[in-house]
Chains A and B, each alone.
Chain A
Amino acid sequence: MNQPSTNLVRGTVDLLILRALQPGPAHGYAVSRWVHERTNAVLALEDAALYQALHRLEDKGWIESEWGLSENNRRAKYYQLTPAGRRQLRTEIGAWKSYAEAVFKVIETA
C-alpha cells in the first residue's frame, strides 16, 4: 500500500485522535478502534504510532489522562480533551477543510 508523506500522516493522526476524543473520555484501545472503523482501515495506522501520538498530545497539553476502570473492570488509562485541545481541534478541522477543498478543486478541474 502506498504511504502518504509522514508530515501528512502525523498531522492527520493528531486530528483523528482529537476528533475521536471529542465525544468524551476514552482509553487508547477505544481510540484505536474508532480510528480503524471510521477510516475503514484506509490509514494503516500502527498502534505503536497511535500511542506515541497520544503521549505527544498530552505533552503538548491538548489532552490529559487519568487512570480509571475499563468496561471489563480492568485498570485503563483514559484520555480526554483539554480546553486547549478543543480549540486545537477546531483549528485543525478548519485548516483540513480548506486544504482538502483546494486540493479537490485542482483535481476536479484537471
Chain B
Amino acid sequence: MKVPGVRRLFRFPWRTREDVREDVRSEFRFHLDMRIEDLRREGLDEASARARALREFGSERSAERVCAVHGDRVERRRWLARLAGELSQDVTFAMRVVARNPGFALVTVLTLAIAIGANTAIFAVVNGLLFRPLPVLAPHELARVKAGETQMSWLNYEDVRRDNAVFEQTAAYRMRSLGLTTAERPLLLRGQETSDNFFSLLGVGPSRGRTYGPDDAGRGLVVLADRVWRSRFGADESLLGRTLMLGGRPYEVAGIMPALFRGVAPPGFTSDFWLLADPSVAGPAFQDRAESAFEVVGRLRPNVTHAQAAADLQVLARWLRSVHPEIPERFLAVEVFPVDGVRAFQGVARTLLPVFAFLGVMTVVAGFVLLIGCANIAGLLMGRAAARRHEIAMRLALGAGRGRLVRQLLTESLVLASAGGAAGVVLATWLAGGVDLLASRLPVNVELNIETDLRVLIYSGLATIVATLACGLLPARGAARFEVVSTLKDTHGGTPGSRRTRRALVVGQVAASAALLLWSGLFVRSLGRISDVDPGFDPAGVLVAGVVLQDDAGEAGERMLTGLHQRIADLPGVESAGLARIVPLAMEGREEFDVAIAASGGVSLRRVTANRLGPGWFETVRIPFIVGRDFTWEDRQGSPNVAIVNETLARQFWNGDALGKQFFHQNRQPVDVVGVVRDSKYWTLGETVRPMVYLPFGQSPIAEMSLHVRTADPGSATRAIVGELQQRAPGVAVEIEPMTEVVSVAMLPARVGAAVTAAFGVLAAFLSALGIYGLVSFSVVQRTREIGMRKALGAGTVDIARAIVGGSVTLTMTGLVFGLGLGALGGIALQGFIVGVSPLDPVTLLAAAGVVMSAAFLASIVPTLAAIRLDPLVALRDA
C-alpha cells in the first residue's frame, strides 16, 4: 500500500518494487518499438512487423519477473551504497566540525564518557549478578529443592535421591568452615562438603588434576578453588596429590577447579574448596533426620517442568513424613527453583536485599547523570546550531535536503557520542574493577563475576545511541524547521522556540542535580548520624577471635572452648571475656526460630532472633542487665533450660515482667527466663530491635564460636589465644580482629552510598553550572545589540547585571523547586539506607539548594562581566 503523505514526509530515497517493474516494462516497450520501426523500414507492414518483433522477443512475462527480481536487488544495493557514501561524507564533515572546536569536543566527550561509563559499570555489576549463566553444564536443567527450608537432612536427601521420578541425578552439599593447618597459625577456609556425584551432576571438570566421584567413597579427598590455589599456595602445581590438614583431618588434594566455578551457589557467593562427604562418619550430620544441613540440587529429566518436579516431590515428602514422624510439617511445603537468575537467590535474598536495593539506587543515579550530561550537550549543540545558522541556511539555500541536514547534524552527535561511549567503556572497565576490588576487601566472601562481555558492550552501545538521540534530536529538529530567508537576512541568532527549549533543558538539569545533591547530602548526614547511633553495646576495646571447631567435636570441643575462655579471662590486662555464636552487626550469621508461649486461652507462636552465649559476654560487650542474672558454667545439658531475653521481648510477650516466665522451644521443653538485658542491634544499625532470646552455650553447643575479649593489651591477648589454640587443638582455625572492625561492615552501605552519590552529585552540579554558563553567555552574545542600546541610553552596571543574571536566577529557582521536590520523593524511597535523617531534613535541603545556587551564580559571573564591560559603540556597530 502506498501512503503518499508518509513518503513525502520522510522522502524515502529508494524506489519501490512497483517502480522497478515499471522500469523493466518500459525497457521492453522501447525494445519492441525500436524493432518494429526497424522492421517497417525493411518493408514489413505494421501488423506483421509487430508479430515478428513479439515472436523474436519470446515470453515477455517470465522475463519481466526475472528481471524485476534482479532489479530489486540492484536497487537495494545502490541505495545502501548511496547511504554509506553520504554517511562517510557526514562523518568526515562531522569530524572536521568537531576538530575545529577541540575544547567543545573535549567537554562533550568527557561528559559522555563519565555518564556512559558510570551506567555501563553499574550494568556490568548487575550483569555479573543476574544475567551471566552459572558456569556449569546446561544450568537451565538444574534445579534446587526447598522443603520448608533450603536445607535438608542427609537421610531425607538419600530418600529423595533414591525415590524421586523427576531428577536424572540428585546431589547434596553443605557449607563447611574449616581450619587449614599451615606453618604459622591455622587459616580459616570456607567451602562445601558434597555428595560423591556433585561434579558429575554439574558436568564441570577440573582445570588441573581430577575431581572425585562414587568410586572414591570413604577417601579423604579435596578439590580446591582456583582463587585459593593461587592466593594461598602460589599456584603450586606440586600441590596435587599432597595432603592438607583441614579441620585437623588429612585430605588429599585431588584437583583444582577452573576460575569462577562456584558450584550452584548464587552469584556473588564463593567456595574455597569442595570435599567429599563421608556418610559413614558417626554424628548427627549424617544420622539425624531432624538435622537439616544439606542443600539439594538435581538435574531435571527431559521435559519435566519445575511445577511437575515440585508436585512429584510433594507426594514423596508426604510419604516420608508418614514413615518418619519426626520430620516437621513444614517439610511438606516443597518448592523447586532454578539455579540461575533472580530466583537463585532464594534462601539468601534477605542477606542480599540491601545489595539489590543499593544497585537499584545506583542505576537511577547513574541514569540521572546520563540525562544531565545529555541535556547539557544538547544545550551546547543548540547554542552552536544557532551560531551556525548562517552556514545551515546557506546549505539549505544551495539545495541541501532538510532530511539530509538533520542526518548530518545527528551524525555530528553520533561522532561525539561514539567517542564518549568508547571512552566510557574503558572507564567502566576501571570502575567495575574497582567495585570488584571493593567486594574482595569485604569481610564476607564475595566474588563478583564482572567482565566486559558482549551484553555489557551492547548495553553501552544502546546508551550511546540514547545519548546521540538525546543530545542531537532537539538541535537537529531546530535546524529542520529553519526559515531560510529570514535567517539569511537577519543577523541575530536564535529563534524564540530554540531559546525556550534551551531554558527548559537548563531547568531540567538544575532539577536533576538538585535532586542528586539532596540525596548525597542525606547519605552524608546519615553517615554522620550512623556513628552516633547507639548499637546498644560497646565494641571499642574488644577483640573478637572466631574459632571454628569440627562439627562433631562434641564435648571435647565444648571443653576446649570453655578452657580457652578461662585461660584468656585470667590473663593480665584482660577485663573480661565471653563466647558468642554470632557477632552482632557483623552480618555474617543470623539465627531465628519460633518459640511458644502460654497466652490467654492457649499457646501462641512467636518469631524471635537468637544468639548463643557463654558466661561473661554481656559484661564484655557492656550490655547491661535490667534484671536477673548472667549465664554460668552450671547452665549446661542436664540442668534446667534457661534463657536471657531483651527488653523488647519482655515488653511484647509479658508486658515487661519477664523474669521467671517460661517459653517452649524446639524440643518442647520449658525454658526459664533468668534475666532481661537492654536492647541492642543485631543485624543492621538502621533496624528496629526485634524480640531476642539468648541461650546458654553450655545447653546447645555450637562448633563455630567467637571469643570476645575486653582487654587493654590486644597484642598479648592475640598471642595468648593463638598459642593456647595451637596447644589444645592444632588445626583449629582462628581469626582475630578488633570488634570495631567487624562491626564497621554495618556502615558500609552508608559509606559507599555517600561516596557515590556525593561524587555524582558534585559532577551533576558541575555539569549544570556548565549548562547555565553556556546559556547565559550565549544570551549575552545574542543580546549584544540590546545591551549596547541600553548602555547608550544610560543604563548603569546594576541594570545590565540585573537583566542578565535575572534570567538565570529565574531558571535556577524553577529548577530547584522541581528538583528538591523530586529529591524529597526519592529520599522517601531511600529511607531504608539513611539512618537518623528525615528525607525532608531542612539542613540538607538548604545545603543542596545552596550548592546549586552558588554554582549557578558562579556560572553567570563571567558572561555578566562581559556584558558590563561591553562598549556600547562597538556593540551597536558590530552587531
A residues with a Cβ closer than 8 A to B are 27-29, 32, 46-49, 51-52, 54-56, 58-59, 65, 70, 72, 74-77
A-B contact pairs, 26 of them (CB 8 A): A28-B31, A29-B31, A29-B35, A32-B31, A46-B56, A46-B59, A47-B56, A47-B58, A48-B60, A48-B62, A49-B58, A51-B63, A51-B67, A52-B63, A55-B24, A55-B70, A55-B74, A56-B66, A58-B70, A58-B71, A70-B34, A72-B34, A74-B30, A74-B33, A76-B27, A77-B27
From residue 68 to 109 of chain B, which have CB atoms closer than 8 A to chain A?
A: 70-71, 73-74
Whether A29 touches B34, Cβ cut-off 8 Å, given contacts A47-B57, A51-B67, is: yes
Chain B positions within 8 Å of A46 at CB level: 56-59
Q: Are A27 and B74 in contact (CB under 8 A)?
A: no
Chain A residues contacting B27 (CB-CB under 8 Å) are 28, 51, 76-77
B26 beta carbon closer than 8 Å to chain A: yes
- What number of B residues sit within 8 Å (CB to CB) of A? 23
CB of B23 within 8 A of chain A?
yes
User: From residue B35, how far is it (CB to closest CB) to chain A in Å?
Assistant: 7
Q: Judging by beta carbons under 8 Å apart, are B31 and A55 in contact?
A: no
A79 vs B73: C-alpha distance in the bound complex, in angstroms?
A: 17
How far apart sit A27 and B34, CA to CA, in the bound complex (Å)? 11
Task: Give Cα distance in the complex from A58 to B23, angstroms.
Answer: 14
Asked if B28 is at the interface of the complex by the 8 Å CB criterion, the answer is yes
* Closest B residue, CB atoms, query A65: B74
Query: Nearest Cβ distance between residue A75 and chain B, in whole angstroms?
Result: 7
Apart from A48-B63, A49-B58, A51-B31, what 10 extra A-B contacts exist at CB < 8 Å?
A27-B30, A28-B27, A29-B34, A32-B31, A46-B58, A51-B67, A52-B66, A58-B74, A75-B30, A77-B27
Q: How far is the CA of A75 from the CA of B26 in the complex (A)?
A: 9
Nearest residue (CB) in B for A64 is B74
With A58-B70, A58-B74 as given contacts, are A48 and B34 in contact (CB-CB < 8 Å)?
Answer: no
Q: Which of B30, B56, B59, B70 contacts A56 (CB 8 A)?
A: B70
Q: Binding site of A, secondary structure by majority: helix, strand, loop or mixed?
A: helix
Question: What are the residues of chain B within 8 A of A56 when measuring CB–CB?
Answer: 66, 70
Q: Find out whether the CB atom of A59 lies under 8 angstroms from the CB atom of B74.
A: yes
Residues of B within 8 A of A49 (CB): 58, 63
In the complex, what distance in Å separates the CA atom of A77 from the CA atom of B23? Answer: 9
| Contact A70–B30 (Cβ < 8 Å) | yes
- How near does chain B come to A40, taking the closest CB pair, in angstroms? 15
Interface membership of chain B positions 32-58, coded 1 if the CB is closer than 8 angstroms to chain A and 0 otherwise: 011100000000000000000000111
Given A29-B34, A75-B26, A59–B73 Cβ distance below 8 Å?
A: yes
- Given the complex of chains A and B, what is the CA–CA distance between A58 and B75 in angstroms? 10
B67 contact set on A, CB distance < 8 A? 51-52, 54-55
Contacts of A70 in B (CB 8 A): 30, 34
The reply to whether A51 and B30 form a contact with Cβ atoms under 8 Å apart is: no
CA distance A54 to B73 in the complex (A): 14
Rounded to whole angstroms, the CA-CA distance of A32 and B60 in the bound complex is 15
Complex interface: chain B residues within 8 A of A59 (CB): 70, 73-74
Q: Lowest 9 CB-CB distances: which A-B pairs, in order?
A: A46-B58, A48-B58, A48-B63, A55-B70, A59-B70, A47-B57, A55-B67, A29-B34, A52-B66
CA distance A54 to B24 in the complex (A): 11
Given A29-B35, A46-B58, A49-B58, A76 contacting B30 (CB threshold 8 A) = yes
For B30, what are the chain A residues with a Cβ–Cβ distance below 8 Å?
A: 27-29, 70, 74-77
> Smallest CB-CB separation from A70: which chain B residue?
B30
CB A28 to nearest CB in B, in angstroms, measures: 6
Q: Which of B23, B35, B57, B62 has the most CB of A within 10 A?
A: B57
B24 shortest CB reach to chain A, Å: 8
Q: What residues on B are CB-neighbors of A51 within 8 Å? A: 24, 27-28, 31, 63, 67
In the bound assembly, the distance between CA atoms of A74 and B66 in angstroms comes to 24
- B residues 484-516 with Cβ under 8 Å of A? none
- Residues of chain A within 8 A (CB-CB) of B34 are 29, 70, 72
Alpha-carbon gap, A52 to B74, bound state (A)? 13
Question: How far is A102 from B67 in the complex, measured between Cα atoms in Å?
Answer: 35
Write the chain A residue with the least CB distance to B57.
A47
Neighbouring B residues of A54 by C-beta, 8 Å: 67
Could you tell me the distance between the alpha carbons of A32 and B58 in the complex, rounded to whole angstroms?
13
